[in-house]
């Protein structure tokens, strides 16, 4: 057994040597530092360009003429013709598990078609042409063609439908706030007029038919009344029935008086001679009564014509009354029939108008167009900030591009080619040629390339 004579080594807890390695400059860090230093060195130039951009963008922002927007909101139209479909679609949408199906049914059944139809009418050529003519927009927009004016009007107008609420929004932008509100209001009025004009409901067709019939019946009634009045005036036939009754009573009275006078005359002749005054007076009265009775009876008049009445009487004779009565009754009946038809058609016409008003989707204005008191364009603050940022960014890019250009080898083929192009373009500018602009000393691409080859030749 061998024992070691060396002293035992004491093993204890030893702290490890921690060597802090210095951080090496990586290429990425060096590039970032170089970029920051380049920006710092050209900071005055960047700030100067940013200041110029700020002034220029401010000038541009305030030179742009302001525009104003007027907005109108229309309620979704409700039509009785689609009420049943709306209830069915609503019931379908409210059923369990049928929400998507109900929305699809609403589209298929046309619940949203009326709002979309309104938008289509507002964007139609008919509506645009009326607005263009009303506000003389072709001269205002300085367009030579009507199609260009319509396109400009579309650019100044925004019409949209909210798919959830079906509220129609009409927005008009113009340089004049009053004109913007007026054009927006004209859109609403034109929509009302076109909807009423283009309605094809059954009530409208009935109303149009009744209008034509009313015109015809009015003309027929006027003709019948004129013919009746001319006949009555010409033949003194005011009321044939009542006139006949009155004339028969008058004839009976005259006949009675005549019989009494004749009786008296016969009695007087028994006492006096014919030359007696009383006999002669009674005889004269009998002759007059007989004459009046003959005139009233129409003796000696033709019974085949009723075109003219008696010349010496205000009323027709009893002999003519039957013939006058037939013609009078025909004309009177014709006039009354036309009056009855006119009254019936007028009542139906008014009912058709009420029904048409119920069936036509009326335009309900939720928000009327107001004259805007605040501009909507241009956003001057945004233009100023964007212009300043663009100027600063452009200057930064310019600084980095110039630094990269300066660091590029003078003998680089790309740099030589770019210099040759720049020189050629500069030489073609007359002003630059007159100012004596000369080449920067780099020479042409071939010459510089030859000079680089000579420099690289070992001496």
283 with 335, same domain? yes
| pLDDT value, residue 173 | 93
**16 domain residue, yes or no:** no
| pLDDT value, residue 431 | 57
User: How far, in Å, CA of 262 to CA of 265, rounded?
Assistant: 5
**15 domain residue, yes or no:** no
User: Hey, what's the torsion of the CAs at 355, 361, 363, 366, to 10 degrees?
Assistant: 110
Contact at 8 Å (CB) between 72 and 167? Answer: no
**342 domain residue, yes or no:** yes
Contacts of 399 (CB under 8 A, 6+ apart): 38, 39, 42, 45, 46
239 with 330, same domain? yes
148 with 233, same domain? no
**416 domain residue, yes or no:** yes
Contact at 8 Å (CB) between 159 and 355? Answer: no
42 with 91, same domain? no
Burial category of 37 from C-beta neighbours within 10 Å (exposed 0-12, middle 13-18, buried 19 and up):
exposed
| pLDDT value, residue 300 | 52
**1 domain residue, yes or no:** no
215 with 351, same domain? yes
58 with 128, same domain? no
| pLDDT value, residue 113 | 57
**387 domain residue, yes or no:** no
User: How far, in Å, CA of 300 to CA of 116, rounded?
Assistant: 84
User: How far, in Å, CA of 324 to CA of 314, rounded?
Assistant: 15
Helices 240-269, 321-359: inter-axial angle, 10-degree rounding: 160
| pLDDT value, residue 378 | 82
349 with 425, same domain? no
Burial category of 438 from C-beta neighbours within 10 Å (exposed 0-12, middle 13-18, buried 19 and up):
exposed
- Which value, in Å, is the radius of gyration of the alpha carbons in the chain? 55
| pLDDT value, residue 10 | 46
Helices 445-456, 413-427: inter-axial angle, 10-degree rounding: 150
181 with 99, same domain? yes
Can you give the CATH number for the domain in which 101 is found?
3.30.1890.10
**4 domain residue, yes or no:** no
220 with 181, same domain? no
pTM of the complete model: 0.49
- Asked if the bond preceding 378 is cis, omega within 30° of 0, the reply is yes
Which secondary-structure segment (H or E) carries 170? strand 168-174
176 with 312, same domain? no
- The backbone torsions φ and ψ at residue 73, rounded to the nearest 5 degrees and listed phi first, read -115, 130
Q: The domain containing residue 93 runs over which residues? A: 68-199+361-367
DSSP, collapsed to helix, strand or coil, labels residue 161 as strand
Which secondary-structure segment (H or E) carries 157? strand 157-161
What count of other Cβ atoms lies within 10 Å of the Cβ of residue 332? 19
242 with 124, same domain? no
168 with 293, same domain? no
Domain count of the fold of the chain: 4
CA 161-163-169 angle, to 5 degrees, is 20
- At 344-377, the pLDDT tens digits run 889 988 888 887 777 666 778 888 898 988 888 8
Nearest residue to 295 via CA among 304, 287, 284: 287
User: How far, in Å, CA of 289 to CA of 285, rounded?
Assistant: 6
| pLDDT value, residue 185 | 93
CA atoms within 13 A on the CB side of 160: 8
Reading phi first (left if > 0) and then psi (alpha if -120 to 50, else beta), residue 283 is in: alpha
Nearest residue to 435 via CA among 425, 427, 443: 427
DSSP, collapsed to helix, strand or coil, labels residue 173 as strand
**Which 8-state DSSP code applies to residue 225?**
H
Residue pLDDT tens, the chain, 459 long: 343 444 444 444 444 444 444 445 566 677 788 788 888 888 888 899 989 999 999 998 888 888 899 999 998 766 554 443 344 334 434 444 444 444 444 444 444 457 888 888 899 999 999 999 999 999 999 999 999 999 999 999 999 998 888 889 999 999 999 999 999 999 999 988 888 777 666 777 888 888 888 889 888 888 888 887 777 667 666 665 665 556 666 667 777 787 888 887 787 778 877 788 888 888 888 888 777 766 666 555 554 444 444 444 555 555 566 666 667 667 777 888 888 888 988 998 888 888 777 766 677 888 889 898 888 888 888 999 999 999 989 988 988 888 888 877 777 777 788 778 878 887 877 654 445 444 444 444 444 444 444 444 444
**10 domain residue, yes or no:** no
């Amino acid at each position: 057994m061998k024992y070691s004579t060396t002293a035992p080594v004491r093993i204890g807890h030893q702290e490890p040597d921690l060597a802090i390695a210095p951080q090496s400059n990586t290429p990425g860090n060096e590039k970032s530092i170089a970029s920051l230093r380049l920006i710092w060195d050209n900071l005055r130039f960047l700030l100067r360009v940013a200041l110029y951009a700020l002034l220029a963008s401010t000038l541009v922002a305030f030179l742009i003429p302001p525009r104003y927007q007027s907005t109108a909101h229309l309620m979704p139209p409700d039509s009785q013709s689609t009420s049943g479909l709306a209830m069915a679609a609503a019931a379908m949408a409210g059923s369990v598990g049928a929400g998507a199906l109900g929305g699809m049914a609403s589209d298929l059944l046309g619940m949203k078609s009326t709002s979309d139809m309104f938008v289509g009418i507002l964007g139609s050529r008919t509506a645009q042409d009326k607005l263009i003519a009303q506000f003389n927009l072709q001269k205002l927009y300085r367009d030579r063609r009507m199609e260009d004016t319509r396109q400009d009007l579309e650019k100044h107008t925004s019409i949209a439908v909210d798919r959830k609420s079906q509220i129609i929004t009409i927005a008009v932008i113009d340089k004049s706030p009053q004109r913007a509100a007026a054009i927006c209001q004209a859109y609403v009025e034109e929509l009302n007029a076109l909807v009423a004009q283009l309605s094809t409901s059954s009530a409208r067709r009935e109303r149009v038919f009744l209008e034509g019939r009313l015109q015809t019946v009015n003309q027929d009634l006027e003709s019948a009344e004129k013919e009746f009045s001319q006949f009555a005036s010409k033949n003194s036939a005011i009321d044939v029935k009542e006139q006949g009754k009155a004339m028969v009573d008058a004839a009976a009275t005259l006949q009675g008086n005549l019989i009494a006078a004749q009786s008296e005359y016969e009695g007087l002749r028994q006492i006096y001679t014919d030359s007696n005054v009383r006999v002669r007076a009674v005889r004269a009265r009998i002759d007059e009564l007989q004459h009046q009775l003959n005139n009233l009876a129409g003796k000696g008049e033709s019974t085949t014509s009723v075109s003219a009445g008696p010349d010496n009487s205000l009323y027709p004779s009893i002999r003519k009354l039957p013939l006058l009565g037939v013609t009078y009754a025909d004309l009177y009946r014709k006039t009354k029939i036309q009056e009855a038809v006119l009254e019936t058609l007028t009542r139906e016409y008014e009912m058709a108008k009420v029904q048409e008003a119920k069936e036509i989707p009326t335009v309900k204005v939720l928000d009327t167009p107001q004259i805007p008191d605040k501009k909507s364009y241009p956003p001057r603050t945004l233009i100023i900030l964007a212009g300043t940022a663009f100027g600063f960014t452009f200057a930064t890019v310019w600084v980095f591009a110039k630094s990269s250009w300066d660091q590029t080898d003078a003998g680089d083929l790309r740099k030589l080619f770019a210099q040759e192009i720049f020189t050629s373009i500069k030489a073609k500018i007359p002003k630059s040629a007159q100012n004596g602009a000369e080449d920067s000393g780099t020479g042409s691409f071939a010459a510089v390339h030859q000079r680089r080859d000579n420099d690289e030749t070992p001496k």
